[in-house]
């Protein structure tokens, strides 16, 4: 997995895992997988990943997140899923961890009350490199209704 980061006891983030990683994620104690990849992405097999995750005993949550035109509804679905104790610990991924970093920045500010500088630094450590995704995340947290 690219950019694997164990954030804390309830969350790990990375780029796309192989299908063979699903049983290992279960063995490591994860309860759920959140996948931000689009079914149309090169190398993404969302259906096979979902089947493999469920066969391994993991809850599978697919939240297609289009980096070129991010949807606030996907962010809200992510925030709901990531804080649900039934999904913890949760493994969150996309292709490279870039989208994961953007979503995690939002979660840190909106849910955990972190300041933007600290949340952005952590998001970059996780894999956020896109200035457009960074701006989306920053705009989202500034304009999200309380």
CATH of the domain at 67: 3.90.190.10
Asked, as a colleague might, if the bond just before 96 is cis with ω within 30 of 0, I would say no
Say if CB 72 and CB 137 are below 8 A apart. no
- The tens-digit pLDDT sequence of the chain (146 residues) is 777 888 888 899 988 898 999 999 999 999 999 999 999 999 899 999 999 999 999 999 999 999 999 999 999 999 999 999 999 999 999 999 999 999 999 999 999 999 999 999 999 999 999 999 999 999 999 998 66
**How many separate domains does the chain show?**
1
pTM score > 0.85 for this model? Answer: yes
Alpha-carbon torsion 128, 134, 136, 137, what sign?
positive
Count of CA atoms in the C-beta half-sphere (13 A) of 77: 13
| 3 state SS of 48 | helix
Q: Domain residues for 129?
A: 5-143
Task: Give the model's pLDDT for residue 103.
Answer: 96
């Amino acid at each position: 997995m690219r950019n694997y980061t164990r954030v804390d006891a309830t969350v790990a983030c990375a780029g796309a895992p192989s299908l063979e990683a699903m049983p290992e994620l279960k063995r490591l104690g994860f309860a759920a997988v959140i996948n931000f990849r689009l079914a149309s992405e090169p190398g993404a097999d969302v259906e096979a990943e979902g089947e493999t995750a469920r066969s391994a005993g993991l809850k599978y949550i697919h939240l297609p997140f289009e980096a070129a035109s991010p949807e606030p509804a996907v962010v809200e679905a992510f925030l709901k899923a990531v804080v649900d104790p039934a999904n913890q610990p949760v493994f969150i991924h996309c292709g490279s961890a870039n989208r994961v970093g953007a979503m995690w920045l939002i979660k840190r500010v909106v849910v955990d009350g972190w300041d933007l500088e600290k949340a952005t630094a952590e998001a970059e450590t996780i894999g956020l490199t896109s200035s457009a995704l960074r701006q989306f995340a920053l705009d989202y947290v500034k304009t999200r209704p309380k």
